[in-house]
Chain A
């Protein structure tokens, strides 16, 4: 499978715990995005990488959230001290090129904070 891969697919955690999600983009794609989606809403932008550089972060991304893409390939999204409001689907997408081109999404990681 050469699409965007996300792990784990599901995560249930207790409030206050830290969680980390992983995204493996399509191999030739240099752009990688993280989005969050809740029921009945469209995906909300969290952060964006071009290669290993984090070029944009949403105001939605509090200091409990951090993302990395250390070698310009896979990326991790960490949420510290999780809160119930963090429960959502976390989607990763990747794209290539310098212009705005199609973004391909992974199947997402569904986080439930209890």
Chain B
């Protein structure tokens, strides 16, 4: 079983739609959580960190459920420019490296 699991998609949604991605992690010692965005043939870039109380950044909302060990990302009012792969990332104090999921591909259509 992979340490971080994501639905690969693709999620095909129309502009303006709301879309949500979930990610599950297996290591209960995980302490830090992030969502990264990766455009085709580009490097991953941080979209947002995920805090225990949940956090919002414009159209993006991230939630963490430690009891069920999952993280979610909600995108409201989708834009064409949101089309990308969204990578769920976790780390824990026993391991300094970030562990990435395989990513969820989003395609926003006009």
Contact = CB atoms under 8 A, between A and B. Distances in A.
Interface of A: 31, 33, 35, 40-45, 48, 50, 55-56, 91, 93, 99-100, 102-108
20 contacts: A41-B103, A42-B87, A42-B100, A43-B100, A45-B97, A48-B96, A48-B97, A55-B96, A56-B95, A56-B97, A91-B44, A99-B32, A100-B32, A100-B91, A102-B34, A103-B46, A103-B98, A104-B46, A107-B42, A107-B43
B22 interface: no
Most buried by B among A31, A42, A56, A108: A42
Interface string B23-46: 000000001101000000011111
Nearest to B90: A100
Nearest 5 pairs between A and B by C-beta? A42-B100, A105-B43, A100-B32, A100-B91, A45-B97
A45 B45 contact: no
Nearest to A6: B43
A100 B31 contact: yes
Most buried by A among B42, B95, B96, B101: B96
Interface residues of B, number: 22
A45 B91 contact: no
Contacts of B99: 45
Contact of B96 (A31, A44, A102, A108): A31
Nearest to B103: A42
Interface of B: 4, 8, 31-32, 34, 42-46, 49, 87, 91, 95-103
Given A55-B96, A56-B95, A100-B91, A108 B43 contact: yes
Nearest to B42: A107
B18 to A, nearest CB: 24
Given A45-B97, A45-B99, A100-B31, 8 more contacts: A40-B8, A42-B101, A44-B100, A48-B96, A91-B43, A91-B44, A99-B32, A105-B45
Contact of B44 (A41, A43, A45, A55): A43
Given A102-B34, A105-B45, A106-B43, A56 B100 contact: no
